[in-house]
Amino acid sequence: MHIRNGVRLPKGVAGGRRKFTTLVDLCQARAAAEPDLRAYTFYADGRTEWDALTLADLDRRARALAVQLTGLAPTGSRALLCFEPGLDFHIAFLGCLYAGLIAVPVAPLDGTRTSLKVGRIESIVASCAPELLLSTGLTFAKCLAVVEESPALNGLVRVAIDETDPALAQRWTPPGIGINTPAYLQYSSGSTGEPKGVTLTHGNVLHNLALIHDNLYRSSDEEGLPRPPSVSWLPSHYNMGLIGGVLDPLYAGRSALLFPAGVFVRSPVSWLRLISQLGRADSCAPNFALDLCVRRISEVQMAGLDLSGWEMALLGGEPVRAETLDRFCEVFAPSGLRRGTLVPGYGLAESTVMVTSAVVGEGPVVLRCDADALTRGRVRPVDPPGGRRLVSCGPISASITLVVADPDTLQECAEGETGEIFVQGPSVGTGYWNRPDEVFHAELPGRRGTFLRTGDTGFRWDGELFVTGRAKEVIIIAGANHHPHDLEATAETAHPAVLACCVLGVDDGQREQVVVLAEVLGEVDAEEIAMAVRRTVHTGHGVRVDDVAVVPAGSLPRSSSGKLLRAGCRDAYTAGALGSAGLGSGTGR
């Protein structure tokens, strides 16, 4: 979808009231208005400030890098951004845009050739044919052997951005780009097969930044207060990390405190500690982060936390579970956490990042539905304590069009009928790079224009959007649809030692078998765990589990943001990497 008009900065954010049509214009206007604002601060260990960037620093270093890049590759070329956690990514990303190049963020290399990351990066190189590989001198030195041994990576021109001459900034001239120029390619997290790069224009991203700001309106806005600083450990190559930790601070006029995802996973209290120290704060995270905090933060660590100033916790990236919200609120209410802080949302890379979100301050809306009716595509509310609890992803903004339709007939569903979610609006990307795909060009009867087929299923109820799962991941048992994340939520309650589960539907040629991969902590009786999982899932859903693979904590493939990589889990299981790949062993496998 082509976008004709740009967006203005939010009221109260310094930088002028004219409309911006590129992210370069946005960054330059903000740097001119508040050059000394420390926009980004990086805490390498989650405690101690390691590095910081003012807006003037960011603009100057981006201009210098752009001059260097312009001499290495023509406008429109792709540049691979491969950075360890830190602020070098910010400079590289904006530097690419200032040069008129298309940025391609990828996970950092770790120096080992056997790393799954190397294979994934090589597949991204094959997809988008970049000319440049941007990183730091230290990373190149550490990963030199890996890069040189990879034909895909060794053929790229390497640029160590920390060696760029700052004096080059004076020679920068604005690139010939506009609102419909591609800004970057956002590759999927890899949970559902080979990576596909979503092409996002400057206009797509600007519109989504404005949508995010409007959707997250809160009472402090009415009082004229600026948006609070944000705290993020999400990797910058991940869509939530890129928007939340790099671009939203520019648009919303706020500062960002950043630290590595690895620090959060090892010590979840580091996240809440930074929020507590700030007073007023915003943050975003996937559902699993709340579970990790509940399980891993001790009472001693909680004693020093004050979360009363945490205004907004945007939850997305994976299904948000009502049980997780309840546990998180119960555990951290003594630390001042308010339920209204939790803001579930729905989004996907194909629409930049956000589609909808709940209302800040109102608390999550939870609907109890009859589980059997839901498997047949109908919503029938029930009274407590029965039913399946679904969390709303909020109302739908007037700036987008969202339709729930039958995935086969494309006829729109009535309220309370489940179907596939279709989205239309200026945030929707132009398509997958160099890959013809009908996903972005679906036509719905009676509707003008084309829609994005999200592949997600859900329904509308009382003005709210409820997401029930991914259409491609649905497991069909006896004609009833079961979403893996529902079965996973139940399986994880089967035994205290179970930390996380991945549920797969595996076709054995005769029927779809249900497999549960269960991560456990410590030495356990695998047979006992398997029996408990089978019993709990059958009791909760009437589904027979054909196989249970009990594996040590940390064994299941995950993205850098901690999201389960379902395709990777499937590959590991069928290859026997989690034990024998035979079904129905009944031995705890």
Write down the mean pLDDT value for the chain: 92
- DSSP per position, 301-336: HHTT---TTEEEEEE-SSPPPHHHHHHHHHHHGGGT
Whole-angstrom distance, CA of residue 177 vs CA of residue 319? 37
Res 468 pLDDT > 50: yes
Q: Find the mean pLDDT for residues 298-309.
A: 96
Are the C-beta atoms of 458 and 418 separated by less than 8 Å? yes
Q: Find the mean pLDDT for residues 5-13.
A: 95
DSSP code of residue 221: H
DSSP-derived pairing of the beta strands 512-520 and 498-507: antiparallel
Are the C-beta atoms of 564 and 499 separated by less than 8 Å? no
Q: Which residues make up the CATH 3.30.300.30 domain(s) of the chain?
A: 475-574
The kind and range of the H/E element at 427 are none
Q: Find the mean pLDDT for residues 407-428.
A: 97
Whole-angstrom distance, CA of residue 494 vs CA of residue 533? 5
- DSSP per position, 444-511: -TT--S-BEEEEEEEEEETTEEEEEEEGGG-EEETTEEE-HHHHHHHHTTS-TTEEEEEEEEEE-SSS
pLDDT cut 90: percent of the chain above it: 79
What per-residue confidence (pLDDT) applies to 583? 43
> What's the count of helices (H) and strands (E) in the chain, helices before strands?
20, 26
Question: pLDDT tens digits for 511-521?
Answer: 678 999 999 98
Question: What does pTM read for this prediction?
Answer: 0.86
Among residues 174, 134, 133, the alpha carbon closest in space to that of 152 is found at 133
**Amino acid at position 585, single letter:** S
Res 212 pLDDT > 60: yes
More confident residue, 589 or 437: 437
* CATH match for 24-36+52-201 among 3.40.50.720, 3.40.640.10, 3.40.50.12780, 3.20.20.70: 3.40.50.12780
Question: pLDDT tens digits for 568-587?
Answer: 898 889 888 885 444 443 34
Residue located via tokens 């405190």? 257
Question: pLDDT tens digits for 309-367?
Answer: 999 999 998 889 999 999 999 999 999 999 999 999 999 999 999 999 999 999 999 99
What backbone phi and psi angles, to 5 degrees, belong to 483? -90, 135
What the block records as the tokens of 492 is 């994880």
Res 413 pLDDT > 80: yes
Q: Find the mean pLDDT for residues 91-102.
A: 98
What per-residue confidence (pLDDT) applies to 508? 65
What per-residue confidence (pLDDT) applies to 585? 39
- Class assignment of domain 475-574? alpha beta
What the block records as the tokens of 511 is 């029927």
Whole-angstrom distance, CA of residue 505 vs CA of residue 482? 10
Whole-angstrom distance, CA of residue 333 vs CA of residue 302? 11
Are the C-beta atoms of 3 and 203 separated by less than 8 Å? yes
Question: pLDDT tens digits for 151-206?
Answer: 999 999 999 999 999 999 999 999 999 999 999 999 975 444 577 999 999 999 99
Q: Which residues contact 266 (CB under 8 A, 6 or more apart)?
A: none
In a 3-state reduction of DSSP, which class is residue 352? coil
More confident residue, 84 or 319: 84
Handedness of CA 56, 57, 63, 66 (dihedral sign): negative
Q: What is the 3-state secondary structure (H, E, C) of 360-375?
A: CCCCCCEEEECHHHHH
What backbone phi and psi angles, to 5 degrees, belong to 252? -85, -5
What per-residue confidence (pLDDT) applies to 589? 42
Are the C-beta atoms of 210 and 251 separated by less than 8 Å? yes
DSSP code of residue 87: S
What backbone phi and psi angles, to 5 degrees, belong to 381? -60, 145
More confident residue, 147 or 558: 147
Q: Which residues make up the CATH 3.40.50.12780 domain(s) of the chain?
A: 24-36+52-201, 267-471
pLDDT cut 70: percent of the chain above it: 94
What per-residue confidence (pLDDT) applies to 581? 41
- Class assignment of domain 267-471? alpha beta
Among residues 51, 201, 202, 75, the alpha carbon closest in space to that of 132 is found at 75
Whole-angstrom distance, CA of residue 418 vs CA of residue 486? 16
Q: Find the mean pLDDT for residues 559-568.
A: 77
Q: Find the mean pLDDT for residues 460-482.
A: 82
Among residues 114, 55, 107, the alpha carbon closest in space to that of 85 is found at 107
